[in-house]
Chain A
Amino acid sequence: MGKTVAEKILSLASGKDAYAGDIVIARVDAAMAHDGTALLAIEAFNEMGGRSLWDPSKVVLVIDHVAPSATESFSKVHKAMREFACIHGANLYDAGSGICHQLMVESGLVYPGALVVGADSHTCTYGALGAFATGIGSTEMAAVFMSGKLWFRVPETLLVEVSGSLPPMILPKDVILKVVGMVGADGATYKAVEFCGPTVKAMSIDGRLTLCNMAVEMGAKTGIIEADKKVIDYLTSLGVKYGIELRSDEDAEFSGKISLDVSDLEPQVACPHSVDNVRPVSEVEGIEVNQVFLGSCTNGRLEDLRVAAEILRGKSVKRGVRMIVAPASRSIYLQALKEGLIEVFVRAGCIVCNPGCGPCAGAHQGILAPNEVCLSTSNRNFKGRMGSVDAEIYLASPATAAATALEGKITDPRRLLKS
């Protein structure tokens, strides 16, 4: 019987002929923890008597959630991470490098066929490069640090087929918001979600990463896209040699299939307080906002910054609205500088933060007060996520975010096309 990409990778990594439902012990190709999860992993590693890492070159620690540190207790966490990385020879990306998931993608440790674990739920992002990547907890991360192995349940795969060409101002983020709204917050629990179809094929790597990033918002274990020539070219540009084309077999078994034609798709907005509460922008237009955030592991990449800068160029963010921009990595930041995008943001009145999670995790750089409203390009709008439990978070694309910042209220970016 044929296999899905998920079944192929877990078979390879476990040395078993594995199919959905099997529980396998597999060796992992890379492991990542960040400043929100690493301390518990380090403590568990020490408590379990861990002496050395199974392969220091494959262990990555990232300081990105509260970077640079905003509190003394976080400074201690960062210090412990630096010491651990130094003692054991692990890779450390210190404050200012960027968001863990973007750094993993740029690091060369993620490639088609790789099995990657991260102590963060959005580890599923890397499926855009044809890897099987999934979030795990801190204690089991400590076990991975020691052994390089972990148990996995081989997931069923839900196929999401997207067709039609994206209309102007409609972005991959609108596609994934639409899909999350259709599938629901637990519609793909324990499953792999594989995105396919001509629209996905036509998308850039940046756009594909946005799709896979939000797979977990449907409960999925991971998002996956077949590794095609575009992936290999991208990896080659990074100097990575492990590019192989990888796709699900024709006769593989899928647990279900969802089809979506995006030819007439409107900009989508996820409304408070759940990610699957998705509506077309026309239903929420006019809601006033206090803050707009452009960034995160969902939408802090170059393409996202370009789209937003194009809308903001020569204009000003509405008085009274704070627009915060945080590039997802240092290399994106540098490229944005080169292209003049950062200047566009600063002239428009945006606050440009260092690469990192910014206000996404609700710990610094833009915490919401009670009754404030934020429109964010990130991936979660849970109550209390970005500050007060009485604040409201709307999720949308970089284009909708930029248009909203100009108008001070939720705005359909297509309106700016006409004027």
Chain B
Amino acid sequence: MSAKIVGRVWKFGDDINTDLIIAGKYKLSITNIDELAKHAMEALIPNFAERVKRGDIIVAGRNFGCGSSREQAPLVLKHIGIGAVIAESFARIFYRNAINIGLPAIECRDTSRILDGDILEVNLLEGYVKNLTRNEIYSIKPIPPALLEILASGGLVNYVKKYGRLPW
């Protein structure tokens, strides 16, 4: 993770559940992440995985990632190149999983002001999202320092590799 993420917005609504992000039938039948990631978000946007460019940003409403605890949900998003997910609120297991695998999950009240195709600049350390298309700045809910460190290392596994110990 770099401190600044710049990318195009893919806009989604409320209650995007983990079955929509990656359907259970794939999670349970495909264990290869390259293959699995091809199906990311496909129930909502056909060929989403192919159309996403590295650094693109998912913006959504309330309760993003609700439903099953599958870690494959944030994993496939990270794998296809999503640089960050910004939502009004997250389901808690998705939030934990995203941080643990190094995908920034950012809570922001103003996601309704952000539209599909906008270009955003996210600064995690300074704690803001800048909408370059609309020239607006939104504040974000700060990520606790301990979790920022996990994110900065690229997830929990990389953290342990880097520091030789768990964060707790």
Q: Are A151 and B146 in contact (CB under 8 A)?
A: yes
Interface membership of A140, Cβ < 8 A: yes
- A36 proximal to B (CB < 8 A): yes
Interface residues of B in 90-126 (CB under 8 A from A): 91-93, 96-97, 100-101
Q: Which of B29, B69, B100, B168 has the most CB of A within 10 A?
A: B69
Chain A contacts for B156, CB-based, 8 A: 44, 48, 139-140, 142-143
Q: Among the listed stretches B3-11, B18-26, B51-59, which one makes contact with chain A, having 4 or more residues with CB under 8 Å of it?
A: B18-26
A281-314 contacts to B, CB under 8 A, are none
Q: Are A189 and B69 in contact (CB under 8 A)?
A: no
Do A36 and B97 have beta carbons less than 8 Å apart? Answer: no
Contact: A120 with B30, CB < 8 Å?
A: no
Q: Is A147 within 8 A of B166, CB to CB?
A: yes
Q: Is the CB of A361 within 8 A of B28?
A: yes
Indicate which residue in B23, B63, B72, B97 contacts A384 across the interface (CB closer than 8 Å): B23
Residue of B nearest to A48 (CB): B160
Q: How far is the CB of A171 from chain B (nearest CB, A)?
A: 24
Query: How big is the B interface, by class?
Result: 35 or more
Q: How far is the CB of A187 from chain B (nearest CB, A)?
A: 10
A189 lies within 8 A of B24 (CB): no
Partner of B92, one of A138, A221, A387: A221
B146 to chain A, nearest CB (A): 7
**Count, chain A residues at interface, CB 8 A:** 51
State which of B23, B30, B71 has its C-beta within 8 Å of the C-beta of A40. Answer: B71
- The answer to whether A65 and B28 touch across the interface, beta carbons within 8 angstroms, is yes
Chain B 38-58, CB-CB to A under 8 Å as 1, else 0, gives 000001000000000000000
Chain A residues whose C-beta falls within 8 Å of the C-beta of B166 in the assembled complex: 48, 143, 146-147, 149
In the complex, are the beta carbons of B69 and A121 less than 8 A apart? yes
Q: Which of A71, A119, A121, A367 has the most CB of B within 10 A?
A: A121
Q: Is the CB of A363 within 8 A of B29?
A: yes
> In the complex, A139 Cα to B168 Cα: how many Å?
14
Cβ contact of B157, chosen from A47, A219, A221, cutoff 8 A: A47
Alpha-carbon distance between A190 and B144 when the two chains are bound, in angstroms: 16
Among A25, A48, A150, A363, the residue within 8 A (CB) of B161 is A48
Q: Which of B64-89 contact A (CB under 8 A)?
A: 66-72, 89
Assess whether A73 is interfacial by the CB under 8 Å rule: yes
| Nearest CB of B to A244, in Å | 27
A37: CB under 8 A from chain B?
yes
Cα distance, A49 to B159, chains bound together (Å): 12
How far is A314 from B84 in the complex, measured between Cα atoms in Å? 57
* Measured CA separation A47–B146 after assembly (Å): 21
B37 to chain A, nearest CB (A): 14
Q: Are B15 and A137 in contact (CB under 8 A)?
A: no
- Is A76 at the interface (CB under 8 A from chain B)? yes
Chain B positions within 8 Å of A17 at CB level: none
Q: Is A361's CB under 8 angstroms from B24's CB?
A: yes
Minimum C-beta distance from B99 to chain A (A):
9
Bound together, the chains give a CA A25 to CA B29 distance in angstroms of: 35
- Assess the B71–A367 pair: CB atoms within 8 A: no
Asked if A39 lies at the interface with its beta carbon under 8 angstroms from chain B, I say yes
The CA of A290 and the CA of B56, in the complex, are separated in Å by 41
CB distance from B109 to the nearest CB of A (A): 14
Closest chain B CB from A81 CB (angstroms): 12
Bound CA–CA A325/B155 (angstroms) = 41
**What is the CB-to-nearest-CB distance from B28 to chain A, in angstroms, rounded to a whole number?**
4
Q: A112 CA to B100 CA in the complex, in Å?
A: 29
Contacts of B161 in A (CB 8 A): 47-49
A66-B43 contact given A139-B101, A186-B62, A186-B89, CB 8 Å threshold: no
B residues within 8 A CB of A58? Answer: none
Q: Is B27 an interface residue (CB 8 A)?
A: yes
B168 contacts which chain A residues (CB < 8 A)? 25, 143, 147, 149-151
Contacts of B72 in A (CB 8 A): 40
Nearest-Cβ distance from residue A123 to partner chain B, whole angstroms? 8
B43 touches A383 (CB 8 A): yes
- The answer, yes or no, to whether A93 is at the interface (CB within 8 Å) is no
A74 touches B43 (CB 8 A): no
Using CB atoms, name the residue of chain B closest to A146.
Answer: B166
Given known contacts A186-B89, A384-B25, is B160 in contact with A137 (CB within 8 Å)? no
CA distance A63 to B7 in the complex (A): 41
Cα–Cα distance between A136 and B91 once the two chains are bound (Å): 11
Please give the residue numbers on chain B whose beta carbons come within 8 Å of chain A beta carbons, in ascending order: 14-15, 17, 19-20, 23-25, 27-31, 43, 62-63, 66-72, 89, 91-93, 96-97, 100-101, 144, 146, 155-157, 160-161, 166, 168
Q: What are 12 contact pairs spanning A and B, CB under 8 A?
A: A37-B71, A121-B69, A135-B69, A137-B71, A142-B156, A150-B168, A186-B62, A186-B63, A221-B92, A274-B15, A363-B28, A382-B20
Residue ranges of A at the interface with B (Cβ–Cβ < 8 Å)? 23, 25, 36-37, 39-40, 44, 47-49, 65-66, 71, 73-74, 76-77, 119-121, 135-140, 142-143, 146-147, 149-151, 185-186, 189-190, 219, 221, 274, 361-363, 367, 380, 382-385, 387, 389
The 3 closest A-B CB pairs, nearest first, are A186-B63, A137-B97, A363-B28
- Known pairs A147-B168, A384-B23. 8 more at Cβ < 8 A? A36-B28, A66-B28, A120-B69, A139-B101, A142-B157, A186-B91, A380-B19, A384-B20
